[in-house]
Amino acid sequence: MNAESLREMIQRRPFEPFCLRLSNGETHEVRHPECAVVGKSKVLVYYPEQDRFVFVALIHINSVELLQSA
């Protein structure tokens, strides 16, 4: 996954929630565009319910799946 592709997904209107699937089997859901920030080589995913941040290296993102809207 490259940074520009991920930025485009976050900036898409209307926003469509998505899930990042990583090389180690972890998944991270991005349900709101404000909950992800893309850098040069990492993405920061924020979980507001838990007040928790996760840094993910872009090189470890195997796929991105759109989630069903609630």
Q: Name the residue range of residue 26's domain.
A: 3-66
Cβ distance 10 to 33 under 8 Å? yes
pLDDT at site 56: 97
User: Model confidence over 31-51: pLDDT tens digits?
Assistant: 999 999 999 999 999 999 999
CATH number, residue 38: 2.30.30.100
Count of domains forming the chain:
1
Please state, as a whole number, how many other Cβ atoms lie within 10 Å of the Cβ of residue 18: 20
State the pTM of this model: 0.90
pLDDT above 90 covers what percent of the chain?
Answer: 94
